[in-house]
Structure 1
Amino acid sequence: MSTLTGVGVSPGVGVGPAHVLAYEATVPAPGSRHGGEAGDAAAELALAGRALERVAADLEERGARAGGEAREILEAQAMMARDPGLADGVATLVEAGTAAARAVYEAFGHYRDLLAAAGGYLGERVADLDDVRDRAIAVIEGRPAPGPPEDTGQPYVLVARDLAPADTALLSPDVVAAFVTEQGGPTSHTAILARAMGVPAVVACPGATSIAPGTPVLVDGASGLVRPAPSDDEVLGARNAAAAREAVLASATGPGTTADGHAVPLLANIGGPRDVAAALEYGAEGIGLYRTEFLFLDRAEAPSAAEQEAAYLEVLDAFPGGRVIVRTLDAGADKPLAFLPPGAHEPNPALGERGVRLFRTHPEIMDTQLAALAAAAARSAGRLQVMAPMVATAEEAAWFADACDAAGLPSAGVMVEIPSAALRASDLAVRAGFLSIGTNDLAQYALAADRQLGALTGLQDAWQPALLDLVALAAAGAAERGRQCGACGEAAADPALACVLVGLGVTSLSMSAPALPAVRAALSRHTRQQCHLAAAAARAAVSPADARAEARAHLPGLAGLAL
């Protein structure tokens, strides 16, 4: 076969035999009916319900094992399986006589059509929806779920029409040399997870599944080239080019700074102690977001203070003298805790009782967590900072800061995830010691785009000019009070957007660890003035695509990095 071309979404070169994932989901026959009796309908409905719940539980279990971004992605898929609207659709079809498998297929079809028609980022979510549907139907029909082998004795190139997060979350670079898919894009979950794993990946590569299984394949995740049966010279050339790029990235070592010496600390996002090794490997200067939910979810009773203290201390000790920013428990609403009594039904959990609001309802949970954090800080040379999620008002910021003071914690900050917090950042910063912008939730609330509603996910683009305006307001409000204002999340992992964030006034950047070298190199090739110009150009644009293009025009160093 000749060389195939796709979109490189995770840099590096991978070589190995092709493992073509050719699973074809069974489509239940149209018109499939059950017996028609009330008892038959009840049995079919129960069968569908058990299948969807089994899929949801399996996805959550895989996410818990994988951790990090994979956990968040798989938990979102589990929510698809438990969606009340979907359950209502299945029930309506079953009560009308449709068999369980076909009812699930048709109920998912409505949501699938919406995503597919939207295209772009939304279209890339179709694979996630299809995966949940196909797994549920497989359970109903008593068939094994799709998935790649976990180990074949040597790293292989996983080739597929598309890949669902559950297929890839538990794999590792020791098992998979590269990913290649015919569908997907830079924001597909294949791309996100590949970057987090540090595995080369090419998506949107037509003809990939026609590669014969077992054929040696060369994958260049930077250029997007996929070469079946490569010669030794081709492999050597690709590896030399990748090594040259890596050398450029590796040359930008040490603390994050712009070309003219403006310091921008580069921190890592982690989901628990097991993510610390990668943060250290990629040169993180500290931790900018330590998600603590792993300690609380999927358990019948709250974690003890001692258990929490040990988990916090392990991370603090990994960064002696460095900053470790811990986000207090962000649960409630769509992430209920089994050991707390259920609250009132919330028709829109995204606007419900979560984050700092949950702490106010259950102060005993907060008191234990803050006490454990204070105990860990007292035993470590790491510099602990604690921040609360979902803060909307200055009063909430002051309430949380007072609670941290009472617990003996020296630095209490808040996350800026709600437009009101960005608009009145100066007021929040009167008592909050620092601010940290969570761009994903800030986009959700600013653009009225529920993160779990596929038909609106395209509005989550971090290049939205309105979102950039809010970031600028938050940074300016913090600066007015002499406070630091960081940004955490995958927006900071985009080298071009990282430069723009600095131009907007953001003082530190936190991201998944593998993204750190490229961001460090991008900053080192641009002055602070260039970052300001890029930020101004992006804010002057009227669409995310225009904002990205206008910003890159002021960031010439990105071309030299092949970014």
Structure 2
Amino acid sequence: MSLSLQENAGSVVLTGIPAVAGVVAAVTIRPVPRVRIATPSTVIPESDRASEADTLRRAAEVVAQRLRERAATATGAASEVLAATAAMAVDRGWLESAERLIATGTPAATAADTAFDEFAVVFTRLGGMMAERVTDLRDIRDRVVAELAGAPEPGIALPDRPSILLATDLAPADTAGLDPNLIVGLATSLGGPTSHTAIIARQLGIPCVVAVTGLDDVPAGVDVLLDGASGRIVVDPDPEVAAGAAAGHRAAAARAAAWSGPGATADGHRVELLANVQDGASARAARHTPAAGIGLFRTELCFLDRESEPSIDEQAAIYREALDAYPSTKVVIRTLDAGSDKPLRFAAHPEEANPALGVRGIRIAARDSGILDRQLDAIVSAASGRDTPPWVMAPMISTAAEAKSFAAACRLRGLIPGAMIEVPAAALLAESILDHVDFVSLGTNDLAQYTMAADRMSPDLAALTDPWQPAVLHLVARVAAAGRALDKPVGVCGEAAADPLLACVLTGFGITSLSAAAPAVATVGATLATVTRDDCRRAAAAVLSTSDPDAARTAALEVLGAQRHING
């Protein structure tokens, strides 16, 4: 249900980028201020500097361990982000920089603050996904400084009633720890629709709007109405309008909760609805949703925060947990998608001026084929005894030659080979790539970033990385057409698959499967069940005739009937 235009005379309407659909009305809260350190007035005596360095290392390890423990109890993207942040907390780079400062007499807290600032400047200059990590760096700095000061760990204070969290930006570690029963909405003035904050909010089912102009002027303690589908936030709304809008969304959510599958349009056209998972825990959690299988099993978690490559047996044990959650249905495993913002300590990544365009995904295998070979062997071991082999896809495929080489390695082991389409070159050569593999899956997050030449974490460019960008959707439609021509499956496993309205458009293109965060599956399925395949095709055609994302959304809504079908 979209927000009514009838607001209080004194209402202020702010607009941002839609990230997670949903309508909520509640009072606002803001994050607890971070601990800040004063300029040191003393110099650490030379005799105490070794112990001061030890104190810093212990504080960093305490922070890392807390994050590891949270990663172990989280699932999906939240677990991945927390594990990566834990690794950053004890990264040798910043620690050695801080220790050099301590060796000159600088207190540990100031040394940590300075070292993190130095790395933040470097990451910002690198741009792309590395710039995304600046928020993580500052979050770790604040946690380490708080530990050194004996202060409580910074973060989001638990409200005593359902609230909408407003922030300039959120560290992924903070987002991952939100309680969706108490944080019922989220809005940030920075970030984009495919940022870690938005992805985790989607996994948690929290309506979210990002890149909101004027949000920093909204204080805590005021009533707001947030519409995650339209990207609108109404400050001081009419109480009756707010209550009605929120009630309409709750009714739509109840209808989605009652939907049990299978994925199909109202006239019976089947669309596989699958879950994105990160580990065994998230795969088991997905079993409690109507997801028919796993459309994206991210395998990075067992590689991050490791000084050495996990053994084949170690990897197999992790993969087996996810496979066992869906023993007789489709499971799609993505091979290691590391590099860029997820460097491997043991892979000897080169220094790169632009890591987002560097050695990542399948390109790691070109430097060290053994990493991929051992991962495929581990997948075979994990799948022993299954009636059907796993589907395995490689990330960052750019050429038909890469697809051919990967497919050969998979077929040698009896696995079903596929490719991720995240690079515009791969979308344009989809037929050639599909000649070599049995399926493809579109990663719309990276596809949008690379198509629009826009860092998906840049708040200034958030509109460019919107998955509704017509240029991106034209590429998706082209890949879907290639799949139809060769009679091979084409899925979408990016965040676009979690948008109920966009899911209908993707179905109209001919996409055969949609894989999203498990909490989004029921909403997508319930929405598809209200429209026909012809409705979807007409919406898809209408979208392709537009030239900007807002017009694309409007065109789809006009065909599908927003008030009847989408978000209530």
Amino acid at match of 1:348: N
> Displacement of 1:534 after TM fit?
1.6
Please say if residues 104 and 133 of structure 1, whose CA atoms lie closer than 8 Å, have aligned partners that are also in contact: no
Q: Secondary structure at the match of 2:271?
A: coil
> Quick one: distance in 2 between partners of 1:275 and 1:472?
30
> Displacement of 1:199 after TM fit?
5.1
Question: Which residue matches 1:312?
Answer: 319
The equivalent position to 2:375 in structure 1, one of 369, 385, 390, is 369
> Quick one: distance in 1 between partners of 2:56 and 2:324?
48
Q: Secondary structure at the match of 2:391?
A: strand
The equivalent position to 1:70 in structure 2, one of 72, 78, 101, is 78
> Displacement of 1:478 after TM fit?
2.3
User: Does residue 281 of the first structure (1) align with residue 292 of the second (2)?
Assistant: no
> Quick one: distance in 2 between partners of 1:543 and 1:202?
19
Please say if residues 112 and 129 of structure 1, whose CA atoms lie closer than 8 Å, have aligned partners that are also in contact: no
> Displacement of 1:496 after TM fit?
1.0
User: Does residue 421 of the first structure (1) align with residue 435 of the second (2)?
Assistant: no
Amino acid at match of 2:320: L
> Quick one: distance in 1 between partners of 2:87 and 2:543?
34
Question: Which residue matches 2:49?
Answer: none
Question: Which residue matches 1:359?
Answer: 365
The equivalent position to 1:479 in structure 2, one of 471, 484, 488, is 484
Please say if residues 397 and 428 of structure 1, whose CA atoms lie closer than 8 Å, have aligned partners that are also in contact: yes
Amino acid at match of 2:518: A
> Quick one: distance in 2 between partners of 1:539 and 1:21?
40
> Quick one: distance in 1 between partners of 2:189 and 2:385?
47
The equivalent position to 1:297 in structure 2, one of 304, 307, 310, is 304
Please say if residues 540 and 556 of structure 2, whose CA atoms lie closer than 8 Å, have aligned partners that are also in contact: yes
Greater alpha carbon shift after TM alignment, 349-358 vs 312-321: 312-321
> Quick one: distance in 1 between partners of 2:54 and 2:502?
48
Please say if residues 274 and 516 of structure 2, whose CA atoms lie closer than 8 Å, have aligned partners that are also in contact: yes
Count of paired positions: 534
Output the TM-score relative to the length of structure 1. Answer: 0.75
Please say if residues 268 and 286 of structure 1, whose CA atoms lie closer than 8 Å, have aligned partners that are also in contact: yes
CA gap of 1:558–1:260, structure 2 versus 1, over 3 A, is farther
> Displacement of 1:202 after TM fit?
8.8
Q: Structure 1 stretches of 5 or more lacking a match?
A: 36-43, 115-123
> Quick one: distance in 2 between partners of 1:74 and 1:431?
36
Amino acid at match of 2:177: L
CA gap of 1:4–1:131, structure 2 versus 1, over 3 A, is farther
1:63-121 residue CA offsets vs partner (Å, 9 max, x unmatched): 56534222455578789998999x99xx9xxx9x9x7688689879999999xxxxxxx
1:504-553 residue CA offsets vs partner (Å, 9 max, x unmatched): 22111000011111111221122222212222222222222221222221
User: Does residue 146 of the first structure (1) align with residue 154 of the second (2)?
Assistant: yes
> Quick one: distance in 2 between partners of 1:539 and 1:221?
23
User: Does residue 209 of the first structure (1) align with residue 220 of the second (2)?
Assistant: yes
Please say if residues 496 and 558 of structure 1, whose CA atoms lie closer than 8 Å, have aligned partners that are also in contact: no
Percent identity for Structure 1 against Structure 2: 43
> Quick one: distance in 1 between partners of 2:286 and 2:87?
29
> Displacement of 1:562 after TM fit?
2.9
> Quick one: distance in 2 between partners of 1:534 and 1:161?
34
Aligned ranges for residues 10-25 of structure 1 at < 5 Å? Answer: 11=22, 23-25=32-34
CA gap of 1:272–1:137, structure 2 versus 1, over 3 A, is same
Please say if residues 534 and 550 of structure 1, whose CA atoms lie closer than 8 Å, have aligned partners that are also in contact: yes
User: Does residue 507 of the first structure (1) align with residue 490 of the second (2)?
Assistant: no
Q: Secondary structure at the match of 1:459?
A: coil
> Quick one: distance in 2 between partners of 1:496 and 1:322?
27
> Displacement of 1:372 after TM fit?
2.4
Aligned ranges for residues 63-142 of structure 1 at < 5 Å? Answer: 63=71, 65-73=73-81, 131=139, 134-135=142-143, 138=146
> Quick one: distance in 2 between partners of 1:295 and 1:337?
11
For the aligned residue pairs, the C-alpha RMSD in angstroms reads 5.1
CA gap of 1:77–1:556, structure 2 versus 1, over 3 A, is farther
Please say if residues 346 and 352 of structure 1, whose CA atoms lie closer than 8 Å, have aligned partners that are also in contact: yes
> Displacement of 1:302 after TM fit?
2.5
Aligned ranges for residues 43-54 of structure 1 at < 5 Å? Answer: none
1:219-254 residue CA offsets vs partner (Å, 9 max, x unmatched): 9999989999x9xxx99x999766632342245432
> Quick one: distance in 2 between partners of 1:328 and 1:189?
20
Amino acid at match of 1:511: A
Question: Which residue matches 2:5?
Answer: none
Q: Structure 2 stretches of 5 or more lacking a match?
A: 1-9, 44-51, 126-131
> Displacement of 1:189 after TM fit?
5.8
> Quick one: distance in 1 between partners of 2:92 and 2:404?
36
User: Does residue 348 of the first structure (1) align with residue 357 of the second (2)?
Assistant: no
Please say if residues 362 and 396 of structure 2, whose CA atoms lie closer than 8 Å, have aligned partners that are also in contact: yes
User: Does residue 556 of the first structure (1) align with residue 561 of the second (2)?
Assistant: yes
Please say if residues 178 and 201 of structure 1, whose CA atoms lie closer than 8 Å, have aligned partners that are also in contact: no
Question: Which residue matches 1:332?
Answer: 339
Please say if residues 538 and 550 of structure 1, whose CA atoms lie closer than 8 Å, have aligned partners that are also in contact: yes
The equivalent position to 2:278 in structure 1, one of 271, 278, 281, is 271
Greater alpha carbon shift after TM alignment, 415-424 vs 194-203: 194-203
Amino acid at match of 1:255: P
> Quick one: distance in 2 between partners of 1:375 and 1:486?
26
Please say if residues 312 and 377 of structure 2, whose CA atoms lie closer than 8 Å, have aligned partners that are also in contact: yes
Question: Which residue matches 1:40?
Answer: none
